[in-house]
Structure formats: structure tokens, C-alpha cells
Structure 1
Amino acid sequence: MHEVESAMLGIVRDAWEKRLGKRGLGVEVNFFDFGGTSRIIAEVRADLMAGLGREIPLVAFYRHQNIRALARHLAGGADASPEAGRARRPAPGGRQRALRGAARARRTEGEA
């Protein structure tokens, strides 16, 4: 990790710890697992924008849900892709696939 990413890691960690009221947060732990909410994200975002002097899209906090991923994103690092640190959604289950298939079948029946 280079100096910019390392400095950004400290800035992001400080902002999260301040707003979550917790110390010693792990850099890989999901923000929401530590009690983060959308209101707290708005507060962290405001703190970081004021401290960094730049606009940060709200979606960045949902795409980069741990300290390391958000710090790398803000520093423009190699791991700044939208997928870094993002919570993974499970693939749809069999019931969901069946419902989607049935919905598609009804749409195509009406078009014939």
C-alpha cells in the first residue's frame, strides 16, 4: 500500500470510528456489521467531504462497505473498482427463478 492509500485508510477509519462511537475497527469488516446505518453513512460522507474538500458520491459508501475498500476507492488505488468491498448478493433460489420464468411466459403469451 502506498502513502496516499495508507493516509486515506487512517482518514476513513477515523471518520467511521467517530460516527460509530467505536475504536479499533478492522479494515475488512463491513460497515453495516458494526451498526452502520444510512443516517451514519450520510454523517461520515459529510465529514469526509469536508475533510477532503471534494464531493463523494453516496453510492461509493454502498459499493465500498469496508474501510480498506473505501480508502482505496477514494485514493484512486488499483482496487477502486465498484465491486471492491461490495456485499455479495446470493444467486436467486429455485422459487425465484420459477416465478421469473412464469412471469416471462405470461408476457410472451400475450404477445402472440
Structure 2
Amino acid sequence: SFDPNKPLFNEFSFEDFNSFNFYLGRGPRISSYRGFGYHNHDVTIIKNFRIKEKVDFQLRGEFFNIWNWHTFNCPTQCWGSGAFDTSVGDSNFGLWNGTVTNPRNIQFVGRFTF
């Protein structure tokens, strides 16, 4: 809402000219609301078979995260320490710490309906 007692122009929306930081605003360049894309595609294939007038059989294949894309967790910062252990003196150096996404999961279903 507009308040005539406050300035209309927000000076904190822009960086100080003498700071030589070439991005907009005085906040951090990348906030916690921004990160790498999250991909998760699920596919289901269904085939129905009529056995008798009141008896059906359904065969279904369900594929979760079909392309097996991984999104690594990012608890502290996205460029290194979140996804892999970057402490050289640690015995787990270079090991993966976990992901946000699950690995590919495939399940088959057979169902009789009568």
C-alpha cells in the first residue's frame, strides 16, 4: 500500500556504485529460494484385458524417476560441501552425502477386477 510519508523509491534495490558489485540489490547474489532445478518424471503404462463379461485383468508398469536424475542435497552451500565431503583430512573425503531425490523405482502390478 502507498504511504505518502515514506519514500516512493527504494534505494536498497540497487547496489552502491563504488562497491563494484555487479548485481542488483544489496543482498546476497543467490538466496536460499534459488537453487538447481528439481527433475522428477514418473510414467505409468496400463493394459486392460477383458477375460469374461464381468472379469477384467489389468497389467500395469509404474516407473518413478524414470530418467534416474539425481538432485544432491544442499544443506549449507550448493557449490561443494552440501553434496560431497570436501574436508581433505576427513576419511570420507570426496564421498557423496545424500540426495533429495530417490533413485529410479519400477514396480509392476497385476490386478483382477470382478
* TM-score normalised per structure 2: 0.21
Q: Which has the larger radius of gyration?
A: 2
Higher-RCO chain (CA-CA 8 Å, sequence separation at least 6): 1
Higher strand residue share? 2
